[in-house]
Amino acid sequence: MLKIANRVKALKSSSIMAISARAAELKAEGHEVISLAAGEPDFNTPDLIQAAATKAMKDGITKYTPATGFQSLREAIAKKISLENGFPVDPEEVLITSGAKHGLYLALQCLVDPGEAILIPTPAWVSYSPMIELAGASVIPLPLYEEDGYRPNVERWKGMAIPPNAKGIIINSPNNPTGVVYSREELIKLTGWALQRNLWIISDEIYEKIIYDNLTHTSISALGPEAKKATITVSGFSKSYAMTGWRFGWVIADRPFIAKMASLQSQSNSHVTSFVQWAAITACTLPPEIGNFMVAEFDKRRRYCMERLDKMGDYLSYTRPTGAFYIFINLSKWLIKNRMTDLEFCKELLNKEYVGVVPGSSFGKEHSIRISYATNIDNLKKAFDRIEAYLNR
């Protein structure tokens, strides 16, 4: 057997991807599986974007591109963000990446040194910690509390000693896994708290367009020049334009940092697929409302899920989600009574009831589960019928 490097010895695959793969296996065996595990829109990418990619291929946009991404695309993203997100962006401050995920990976590789630490308000998305650890750094979780609705409350962290090796903080609003959208006031406080501690901010805004209840998204870099200077903004089209498989995202940061990330990209994956980049230029020209029908549909599903969950109050509680397409459910009452961990529950639910959900412990919060409602109401109905029957047993 080949000898695996120490750096990756402890590395595991994304738990969400592993559950989705198991769900697909069971489906292939002929079971009627409903996966509420992976968070990905069930819609297809808008026709105009598809057509632009096909045309680009026909037109010969099939060659290497600059590592930064096509200059015209960087210009288009810079213009779009300046207009929609309310902070000025120069094309040289934009790097085109293979999804937000690889943008985060490159950013962390370029930001943290071995021995340093990154703070993460937790529960948090599954891939932040492994990425930080791959850079040789450690993770300091900042607890978020269900009784605060999983909202950031800097008062809670006042007594916490933040070690001098803490280099940065990852902020993710709208949030995965809680679905919570932080208000502008909360982000001002959180950013102020981070800046006072000389922390760099990585702002993961991948769900920026999926927001309900007439709330609005605030980009941290829009909070003023000091905030912008300290922030690395990561986003992309995976969620807003149902483009998860295209692997398209971007990072916005100061020029020298972007140039260094481009060097790393040039020495690894080179750049994002040429015709995907070309189609993304078209995506930038679409009116932002083009994704509204998806958000309206997600909202219907969100309401349906909450109706069902409200009827299971004897077993669980949840935080009302106002963004993304997740609900984070506290199952501790039921799990403690039945002497089960959240991981065991998720395994049983998948293997016996053929419903895929993600254990809260994957996000750093035990006794909980995350469901994704990016699937149609018929599926949600079946999934909730099965979950309810299982809990009642």
Q: Which is nearer to ligand PMP, 108 or 312 (CB)?
A: 108
Residue located via tokens 């609705």: 149
15-28 and 342-353 are packed helices; what angle lies between their axes, rounded to 10 degrees? Answer: 20
Shortest Å distance, C-beta 123 to ligand PMP: 11
Neighbour count for residue 280 (Cβ, 10 Å): 27
Among ligand PMP, ligand GLU, none, what does residue 100 contact (CB within 5–8 Å per kind)? ligand PMP
Judged by beta carbon, residue 153 or residue 322, the one nearer ligand GLU is 322
Q: Which residue lies nearer to ligand PMP by CB, 335 or 370?
A: 370
Nearer to ligand PMP, 116 or 204 (CB): 204
Considering only CA atoms, which of 274, 237, 7, 4 is closest in space to residue 101?
237
Q: Which residue, 150 or 193, is less far from ligand GLU as judged by CB?
A: 150
Q: How far is the CB of 206 from ligand PMP (least distance, A)?
A: 4
Q: Please state the closest distance from residue 141 (CB atom) to ligand GLU, in A.
A: 18
Identify what 204 binds: ligand GLU, ligand PMP, none; CB under 5 to 8 Å per kind.
ligand PMP
Query: Three-state DSSP class for 197?
Result: coil
Minimum Å gap between C-beta 101 and ligand PMP is 3
Shortest separation between residue 314's beta carbon and ligand GLU, angstroms: 28
Q: Which long-range contacts (CB under 8 A, 24 or more apart) does 182-188 make?
A: 182/151, 182/152, 182/218, 183/215, 183/218, 184/218, 184/223, 186/151, 186/152, 187/218, 187/220, 187/223, 188/223
**Minimum distance from residue 103 beta carbon to ligand GLU (Å):** 12
Name the binder of 17 from ligand GLU, ligand PMP, none, CB < 5-8 A by kind. ligand GLU
Q: How far apart are CA 317 and CA 310, in angstroms?
A: 8
- Name which of 100 and 316 has its Cβ closer to ligand PMP: 100
Q: In angstroms, what is the minimal distance from the CB of 19 to ligand GLU?
A: 9
Binding-site partner at residue 38 among ligand GLU, ligand PMP, none, CB < 5 to 8 Å by type: ligand GLU
User: The dihedral of CA 259, 265, 270, 273: what is its sign?
Assistant: negative
Nearer to ligand PMP, 207 or 354 (CB): 207
Measured CA to CA, the distance from residue 45 to residue 207 in angstroms comes to: 16
Is the CB of 217 or the CB of 312 nearer to ligand PMP?
Answer: 217
| 48: region left, alpha or beta (phi > 0 left; psi from -120 to 50 alpha) | alpha
**Packing angle, helices 377-392 and 342-353, rounded to 10:** 110
Q: Helices (H) and strands (E) in the chain — how many of each?
A: 14, 13
d(CA 337, CA 381): 26
* Binding partner at 316 among ligand GLU, ligand PMP, none, C-beta below 5 to 8 Å by kind: none
291 binds, among ligand GLU, ligand PMP, none (CB under 5 to 8 A by kind): none
Chain-centroid distance of CA 346 in Å reads 21
Least distance from ligand PMP to the Cβ atom of residue 225, Å: 26
Strands lying side by side in the sheet with 368-372: 317-318, 326-330, 368-372, 358-359
Q: How far apart (Å, rounded) are the C-alpha atoms in residues 204 and 89?
A: 17
14 binds, among ligand GLU, ligand PMP, none (CB under 5 to 8 A by kind): ligand GLU
Closest CA to 80 of 92, 71, 88: 88
How many Å apart are CA 271 and CA 247, to the nearest integer? 11
Question: CB nearest ligand GLU: which residue?
Answer: 39
Q: Indicate the residue among 222 and 324 with the shorter CB distance to ligand GLU.
A: 324
Q: Which residues bind ligand GLU (CB under 6 A)?
A: 14, 16-17, 38-40, 101, 125, 127, 176
* Residues at the interface with ligand PMP (CB under 6 A): 39, 99-101, 125, 172, 176, 204, 206, 236, 238, 244, 249
